[in-house]
A and B are shown apart, each in its own frame.
Chain A
Amino acid sequence: MIADFYNYWVAIILMMIGFYIVISDANLIKKMIGITIFQTSVFILFISMSKVEGGTAPILIDEVTLYSNPLPHVLILTAIVVGVATTALGLAIIARIYREYGTVDENIIHAKDEEEYEDSDEDLS
Chain B
Amino acid sequence: MDIQTIVDISLLTLLAVTALILLRLNNLLAAVLLSGIYSLLTAGLFVSLDAVDVAFTEAAVGAGLTTVLLLGAVAITGREQSVTRHSRILPIAVTTVTAAALIYGTLDMPKFGDPMAPIHTHVAPRYIEMSGEEIGIPNIVTSVLASYRGYDTLGEVTVVFTAAIGVMLLLGGVIKRKSKPKKHE
Residues of chain A touching chain B, judged by Cβ–Cβ distance below 8 Å, are 3-10, 12-21, 23-27, 29-30, 32-33, 36-37, 40, 43-44, 47-61, 66-74, 76-78, 80-89, 91-96, 98-100, 103-108, 116, 119-120, 123-124
Contact = CB atoms under 8 A, between A and B. Distances in A.
- Interface of A, secondary structure class, is helix
A68 B160 contact: no
B50 A44 contact: no
Contacts of B115: 52-55, 66
B3 interface: no
Contacts of A116: 181
Nearest to A5: B106
- Interface of chain B, main secondary structure: helix
Contacts of B132: 60
B127 to A, nearest CB: 6
Interface of B: 1, 5, 8-9, 12-13, 15-16, 19-20, 22-23, 28, 31-32, 35, 38-39, 42, 45-46, 49-54, 57-58, 61-62, 65-66, 69-70, 72-74, 76-77, 80-82, 84-86, 88, 91-92, 94-96, 98-99, 102-103, 106-107, 109, 111-115, 117, 119-120, 123-124, 127-128, 131-132, 138-141, 144-145, 149, 152-153, 156, 159-160, 163-164, 166-167, 170-171, 175, 177, 181, 183-185
A95 B171 contact: yes
Contacts, number: 281
A80 B58 contact: yes
B54 to A, nearest CB: 5
B7 to A, nearest CB: 12
Given A29-B70, A47-B51, A49-B119, A58 B38 contact: no
